[in-house]
Structure 1
């Protein structure tokens, strides 16, 4: 018993500085982000400077970032296979550049920034404590939990997310309690600085019947496919942009220009920035998606495209809040088509598209409880678990590993990173296209 108490006391003392530092920095980040977004609402001309902001971000990372450019994936790689560590410069760099992205209208989120802040802070404290490699791995995992729990005000989901996101279908419990302590501590610290999170609610009472179950299962499949589409589109924009655009600093100019062009074609700024606040009362936002008429049929797709272009061309920020937007807007559309309660379907989309794109169905189910209440827990689980399977072996984090294959047909992916799975899939596609071209050539030659 005394060994258990000493173990818990040791980790509590190690984690408290991480929680306090990460929670405070996330609070500063959220405060600056709110100020930047409100300022942009009052000065819409700032959007025209988005390409210039992208070039500035590019050169900041080129000359100051070093390996910090890898972001969340660097933290995951360090947890799986310790190397050079997570640089302390990651925290201020990603904080400042994310605020810049939002100030000038880029469509991005905040989770990635908060997680990078948490990981950078955890590595900094690990060096000060002189921890061994296994302990550094645990402390880095608590940094993910601290950042996630603080930025969304969901400490339990934050703790589970940190454990679940590292590998598909597999969780290690050696960091379970440390992650919970870190997430709760960072969340309390963030709130102590006066930061308030957006409140969401599902007022529709829980009602179970076979038709509703089938609706939720079908919606869960579509949410998973939306998560897959988001991941694949973002990766494709980045992959082909880096391959075709030279010099590299032209890529954010092109991306910023595309965002401006799409904004004018659609005649709305609803798909810029976070999507939590709107310029006017009729704006499409995440909260508006919980009400009938709060989104158009393709609002989810436009937000997906805006975010893929923004993040894929070098701007900084997270993917999760845009995923919330995509999911809530798609849920709104599905509710209109099926006649299901709008707030319920929007809430399910909110968490399930996120579950599909990050491969964290348990954390997202718990997030549903923390955000919307436990009344519809069964539907949260069905939607998130279904979305998890239908998103396939893809995700927004290429360094995520396949711990357990989702289906037996892809068992050969076990142990590989999603980056390696994607490369294998692309090589197979290239070989198939080459054979197809050769067959066509032989056919025309007679």
Structure 2
């Protein structure tokens, strides 16, 4: 049954994502050829604001609306969500806003899944299942990682708990969505780790782990987790501050656009605009360049964090994940220099670990590392993702996430001992 329902849904989602990726690439390259478009970013923000005000209604809640609908079906996912987020994300990138594409793909997936699911008159439980599969299809299609998309869709809903009953429809949707994008001839960016580890002898036995490298990975992953925490706090903080200081909502994206323009003029380069995957000029800092020695500056990760927090926090549209890839890869590049570690490996670790911490999906990000970079460093991928996950706090970029099993973080330790002391005093 699920194959009959999921396959056509995933084909539609994959086709829509393929169109989105083509339009996004066209918009980015058009801006590269016409850099003056950046100065129209405030005006573009006003246009996005009024598009959602006139047509968006609840669709402006984006990924959080889909997560809430999976938890408690009822309000529905509006059909207009898919075209609205597609158009407004392309507008954001056309004029230089710093955003990603995962949010767009997930919203396309959720919107189409809900719309087509209504044709089958599914029960609330089955509609939840199809929505989850739609998320898997959108995520797997936009990054070319169907298995990671499968796990992400099940893991992102509730922190610390996975609903395995959704595994089969999510897997079908992820595979079909990715295959559909490939069938349309859309290619994904390829990343390479130029480092091989042969392990080391321990008490006369060969162990396929370099323990010194493992220790460096753990230390770096603490910083990856803190960067994820800082990103989530920054995006939420910008939204809160902008809403409290600017009383007319349409002026919020104007202020955000002006800040982005001023930052670019101060820095004197456009490296932190847009998606951050392809270089606007030779020598530009991108996710790909971060995998090379000297391919990022010391604070490249911080500038991208600021640019993206301002862009998304002031009402522009797009995802958070690709900027998180950029932040993680450039931070990994910086830490590799400081710790005398392999640059391409640490860029890859940061790439997936900051994402894991910000979305609270360490298992999906470990799988993504294997799909994107190969399986040789799978253990290090897992260590990086789970350490970052624990050090990123309970806050993530998706406010609708629910906590199924609280994670033990450094912030919780004082509370734990306070509770223990309280119990001791009560007994006394």
Q: Normalising to structure 2: TM-score of the pair?
A: 0.93
Which residue does 1:78 correspond to in 2? 69
- Structure 1 match to 2:420: none
Q: Deviations over 1:271-318 (max 9, x none)?
A: 000000111120000000000010000000000000000000000000
User: Within 2, Cα distance between the matches of 1:349 and 1:410?
Assistant: 24
Measure, in 2, the Cα distance between the counterparts of 1:384 and 1:238. 27
Residue number in structure 2 paired with 1:304 = 305
Counting only pairs closer than 5 Å after superposition, residues 98-113 of structure 1 correspond to structure 2 as: 98-113=89-104
- 1:349-369 residue CA offsets vs partner (Å, 9 max, x unmatched): 000000000000000000000
SS in structure 1 of the partner of residue 406 of structure 2: coil
Alignment map for 1:197-346 (pairs within 5 Å): 197-206=188-197, 207=199, 208-346=209-347
Q: Name the residue aligned to 1:66.
A: 57
Pairing of 1:405-444 with structure 2 (within 5 A):
405-407=406-408, 410=412
- Counterpart of 2:87? 96
2:182 aligned with 1:191, yes or no? Answer: yes
CA distance in 2, matches of 1:57, 1:318: 15
Matched with 1:397 is: 398
Partner of 2:379: 378
| 1:22-41 map, 5 Å | 22-41=13-32
Deviation at 1:209, TM superposition (A): 2.5
Output one character per residue of 1:116-139: Cα deviation in whole Å (capped at 9) or x when no partner: 000000000111111110000000
Which residue number in structure 2 is paired with residue 431 of structure 1? none
C-alpha separation between the residues in 2 aligned to 1:361 and 1:234? 21
Alignment equivalent of 2:46, drawn from 35, 55, 58: 55
CA distance in 1 between counterparts of 2:122 and 2:8 reads 14
Instruction: Please state how far the C-alpha of 1:16 moved relative to its aligned partner.
Output: 1.0
Q: Aligned to 2:134, which of 126, 137, 143?
A: 143
Distance 1:242 1:18 in 2: 38
- TM-score (normalizing by structure 1): 0.89
Inter-partner Cα distance in structure 1 for 2:327 and 2:29: 22
Runs of 5+ unmatched residues, structure 2: 200-208, 416-428
Shift of 1:81: 1.1
Structure 1: 5+ residue stretches without partners: 1-9, 414-446
Which position in structure 1 is the counterpart of 2:349?
348
Rounded to whole Å, the distance in 2 between the matches of 1:337 and 1:220 is 14
Deviations 1:117-165 (A, max 9, x none): 0000000011111111000000000010000000000000000000000
CA distance in 2, matches of 1:209, 1:28: 44
- Aligned-residue offset at 1:210: 2.4
Residues 243-283 of structure 1, C-alpha deviations (whole Å, 9 max, x = no match): 22121000000000000000000001000000001111200
CA distance in 2, matches of 1:140, 1:279: 37
Pairwise CA distance, 1:111:
0.2
Q: CA–CA distance in 2 between the matches of 1:61 and 1:69? A: 6
Cα drift, residue 410 of structure 1? 5.0
**Aligned partners of 1:155 and 1:410: how far apart in 2?**
34
RMSD, aligned α-carbons? 1.2
Distance 2:295 2:64 in 1: 35
Counterpart CA distance in 2 for 1:189 and 1:311 is 29
Q: Partners in 1 of 2:119 and 2:125 — Cα distance?
A: 15
Equivalence for 2:37: 46
